[in-house]
């Protein structure tokens, strides 16, 4: 039996009155397809649809200022597509790129204490003033993926762009902003160097690597999806460098997509999804990365990336993992503290897992969530305190066709990891396979 109350409690973390919970449970549809998923069992856990929206809305100070913003075109509800999430304490951050006009804020949050379900309005974070488009150096223009680290810092890459595809204007330079989540103040701002980018650069994703040296031993890795590079930023050196490798490129045979009833080609999309393993015995992590138009995952040690000289000349230190077959496009992945990787399977309306302590083979992969309506384009996945969070947004329909705004288009869903992986190949994490590498020993 589905125990909705338990899910609500686990997905909420804070003391709540469950009586007023509005979230509903979505049952996954186990229909096997694609790569030899047959070797792996599907998860059976229902997923909590924590929030859902037909269109996004913003928490203006009052209704008259909201109406004024709509009248002026400063807020066009149909243009707001949520693409990224992050969870920190009682905040769920939601990012909205400025692809079309009328986006009042690109970085926003929802209070998880006060919003148990329904369609909450977004509150700009850290405030409205720091969300003004084109106010370079003072404000955020377009933010995609964000990352909250263990030192209560939020890493926010502002692409500085307005528009998408051939409408893109570079209003401000690519700038990495690092905020203190406990004070809502900016700690550091770093403009990418001209040499970090090229004329095709499009960077939507960031991974953050804390090493053995604590909060100052931090690096950010930013994947240049259309310029085919990886930009490394060292917090300690306050310096960046660009890494190139042919593994960052798309596979020309893997650029055809069928999602949400649409067929389209994204043939040029290279390195996008990234996830970092736990610290290995040598004190470094493994960065896994995946060109979007590819069925392959690749890996490289952060020992290489963190060293500017090594990163320039270490072709053979980049590893190829076995071909994933077809229907294996992904844009987002994350590795939890038990070294289980979760990733979106955008062609399958699904989220999958791989027990990364075991070989990268079909039997060690599983689907943990699949739903042909609620999970159309699961744009971002995160794990926080043992809970898997997913945002789905029907992005291809927004970009290529038109969303039906009478329908629910955007959803934030969650499921406890333990339940999601129960009965799948991902359940047997290091407790069974790697007893001498418990995660607290690696700190
Ligand atoms: C931009 O791209 C769209 C769709 O790909 C196309 O219809 C449009 O004509 C293009 N506009 C310009 C100015 O190239
Ligand atoms: C980091 O470097 C940037 C530009 O290179 C500079 O503007 C900024 O002040 C530096 N920050 C720190 C904390 O050193």
- The residues near 49 (Cβ < 8 Å, ≥ 6 apart) are 23, 24, 25, 26, 374, 411, 412, 413
pLDDT at residue 325, rounded to an integer: 79
Ligand 1 lined by 166 (C-beta under 6 Å): yes
Of all protein residues, the one whose alpha carbon is nearest to atom 4 of ligand 2 is 190
Q: Write out the DSSP string of 272-299.
A: EEEEE----TTS--EEEEEESS-S--EE
- Cβ proximity of 414 and 389 under 8 Å: yes
Give me the domain span that covers residue 292. 4-442
- Do you find a cis peptide bond into 14, omega within 30 degrees of 0? no
Please tell me the distance from the alpha carbon of residue 274 to that of residue 288, in angstroms, as a whole number: 5
Q: Which 3-state string (H, E, C) describes 47-93?
A: EEEEEEECCCCECCCCHHHHHHHHHHCCCCHHHCCCCEEEEECCEEE
Q: How far is CA 34 from the centre of its chain?
A: 23
pLDDT at residue 434, rounded to an integer: 44
Going from the Cα of 166 to the center of ligand 1, the distance in angstroms, rounded, reads 6
Of all protein residues, the one whose alpha carbon is nearest to atom 2 of ligand 1 is 166
pLDDT at residue 9, rounded to an integer: 64
Nearest ligand to the C-alpha atom of residue 266: 1
- Residue of 100, 164, 165, 166 with the most ligand 1 atoms within 8 Å of its CB, for mutation: 166
Nearest ligand to the C-alpha atom of residue 176: 2
pLDDT at residue 46, rounded to an integer: 86
Going from the Cα of 202 to the center of ligand 1, the distance in angstroms, rounded, reads 18
Nearest ligand to the C-alpha atom of residue 167: 1
pLDDT at residue 50, rounded to an integer: 96
Q: How far is CA 257 from the centre of its chain?
A: 20
CATH of the domain at 219: 2.120.10.30
Instruction: State the pTM of this model.
Output: 0.92
Going from the Cα of 169 to the center of ligand 1, the distance in angstroms, rounded, reads 14
Ligand 2 lined by 238 (C-beta under 6 Å): yes
pLDDT at residue 267, rounded to an integer: 96
Of all protein residues, the one whose alpha carbon is nearest to atom 10 of ligand 1 is 166
pLDDT at residue 7, rounded to an integer: 66
pLDDT at residue 326, rounded to an integer: 81
pLDDT at residue 4, rounded to an integer: 67
The closest-lying atom of ligand 1 relative to the alpha carbon of residue 167 is: 1
Q: Write out the DSSP string of 189-247.
A: EEEPPGGG--TT--EEEEEEEE-TTGGGSEEEEEEETTTTEEEEEETTTTEEEEE--GG
Going from the Cα of 225 to the center of ligand 1, the distance in angstroms, rounded, reads 20
Ligand 1 lined by 406 (C-beta under 6 Å): no
- Other CB atoms within 10 A of residue 410 CB: 25
pLDDT at residue 18, rounded to an integer: 32
Going from the Cα of 192 to the center of ligand 2, the distance in angstroms, rounded, reads 11
Burial status of residue 339 (CB atoms within 10 A of its CB: 0-12, 13-18, 19 or more): buried
Ligand 2 lined by 194 (C-beta under 6 Å): no
- Residue of 185, 190, 193, 234 with the most ligand 2 atoms within 8 Å of its CB, for mutation: 190
Taking only the tens of pLDDT, the chain with its 443 residues reads: 456 666 666 665 433 333 334 567 776 545 443 344 433 455 668 899 999 999 999 999 999 999 999 999 999 999 999 999 999 999 999 999 999 999 999 999 999 999 999 999 999 999 999 999 999 999 999 999 999 999 999 999 999 999 998 899 999 999 999 999 999 999 999 999 999 999 999 999 999 999 999 999 999 999 999 999 999 999 999 999 999 999 999 999 999 999 999 999 999 999 999 999 999 999 999 999 999 999 999 999 999 999 999 999 999 999 999 887 788 999 999 999 999 999 999 999 999 999 999 999 988 999 999 999 999 999 999 999 999 999 999 999 999 999 999 999 999 999 999 999 998 999 975 444 444 443 333 33
Please tell me the distance from the alpha carbon of residue 418 to that of residue 422, in angstroms, as a whole number: 6
Of all protein residues, the one whose alpha carbon is nearest to atom 9 of ligand 1 is 166
Q: What three-state secondary structure class fits 417?
A: helix
Burial status of residue 143 (CB atoms within 10 A of its CB: 0-12, 13-18, 19 or more): buried
H-helix or E-strand spanning residue 162: strand 161-162
Please tell me the distance from the alpha carbon of residue 270 to that of residue 263, in angstroms, as a whole number: 19
- Total domains in the fold of the chain: 1
Q: Please list, residue by residue across 371-385, b when 16 or more beta carbons sit within 10 angstroms of its beta carbon and e when fewer do.
A: beebbbbbbbbbbbe
- Cβ proximity of 136 and 160 under 8 Å: yes
Ligand 2 lined by 20 (C-beta under 6 Å): no
Please tell me the distance from the alpha carbon of residue 303 to that of residue 256, in angstroms, as a whole number: 35
Record the tokens describing residue 388, joined without a space: 């898997």
pLDDT at residue 6, rounded to an integer: 67
- Cβ proximity of 369 and 351 under 8 Å: yes
Q: What three-state secondary structure class fits 30?
A: coil
Record the tokens describing residue 186, joined without a space: 């900016």
Which residue's structure tokens are 């109350």? 5
Nearest ligand to the C-alpha atom of residue 240: 2
- Least Cα distance to 384 among 211, 192, 146 occurs for 146
The closest-lying atom of ligand 2 relative to the alpha carbon of residue 191 is: 4
Going from the Cα of 266 to the center of ligand 1, the distance in angstroms, rounded, reads 15
- Cβ proximity of 259 and 376 under 8 Å: yes
């Amino acid at each position: 039996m589905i125990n909705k109350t338990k899910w609500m409690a686990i997905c909420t973390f804070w003391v709540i009155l469950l009586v007023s919970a509005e979230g509903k449970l979505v049952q996954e549809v186990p229909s096997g397809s694609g790569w030899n998923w047959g070797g792996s069992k599907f998860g059976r856990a229902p997923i909590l649809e924590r929030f859902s929206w037909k269109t996004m809305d913003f928490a203006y100070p009052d209704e008259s200022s909201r109406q004024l913003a709509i009248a002026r075109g400063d807020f066009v509800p149909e243009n707001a597509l949520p693409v990224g999430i992050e969870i920190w304490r009682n905040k769920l951050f939601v990012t909205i790129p400025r692809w079309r006009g009328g986006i009042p804020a690109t970085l926003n949050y929802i209070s998880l204490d006060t919003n148990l379900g329904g369609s909450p309005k977004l509150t700009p974070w850290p405030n409205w003033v720091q969300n003004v488009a084109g106010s370079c150096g003072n404000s955020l223009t377009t933010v995609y993926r964000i990352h909250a680290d263990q030192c209560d810092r939020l890493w926010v890459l502002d692409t500085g762009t307005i528009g998408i595809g051939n409408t893109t204007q570079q209003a401000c330079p690519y700038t990495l902003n690092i905020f203190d989540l406990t004070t809502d103040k900016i700690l550091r701002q770093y403009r990418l160097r001209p040499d970090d980018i090229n004329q095709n650069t499009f960077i939507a994703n960031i991974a953050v690597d804390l090493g053995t040296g604590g909060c100052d031993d931090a690096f950010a890795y930013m994947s240049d999806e259309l310029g085919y590079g990886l930009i490394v930023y060292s917090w300690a050196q306050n310096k960046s460098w660009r890494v190139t490798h042919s593994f960052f490129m798309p596979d020309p045979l893997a650029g055809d997509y069928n999602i949400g009833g649409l067929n389209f080609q994204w043939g040029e999309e290279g390195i996008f999804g990234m996830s970092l393993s736990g610290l290995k015995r040598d004190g470094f992590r493994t960065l896994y990365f995946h060109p979007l138009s590819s069925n392959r995952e690749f890996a490289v040690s952060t020992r290489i990336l963190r060293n500017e000289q090594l990163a320039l000349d270490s072709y053979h230190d980049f590893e190829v993992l076995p071909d994933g077959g077809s229907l294996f496009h992904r844009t987002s992945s994350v590795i939890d503290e038990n070294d289980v990787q979760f990733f979106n399977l955008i062609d399958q309306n699904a989220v999958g897992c791989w027990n990364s302590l075991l070989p990268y083979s079909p039997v060690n992969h599983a689907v943990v969530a699949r739903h042909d309506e609620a999970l159309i384009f699961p744009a971002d996945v995160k794990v926080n305190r043992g809970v898997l969070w997913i945002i789905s947004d029907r992005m291809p329909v927004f970009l290529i066709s038109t969303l039906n705004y009478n329908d629910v288009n955007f959803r934030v869903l969650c499921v406890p990891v333990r339940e999601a992986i129960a009965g799948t190949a991902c359940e047997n994490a290091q407790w069974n396979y790697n007893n001498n590498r418990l995660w607290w020993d690696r700190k």
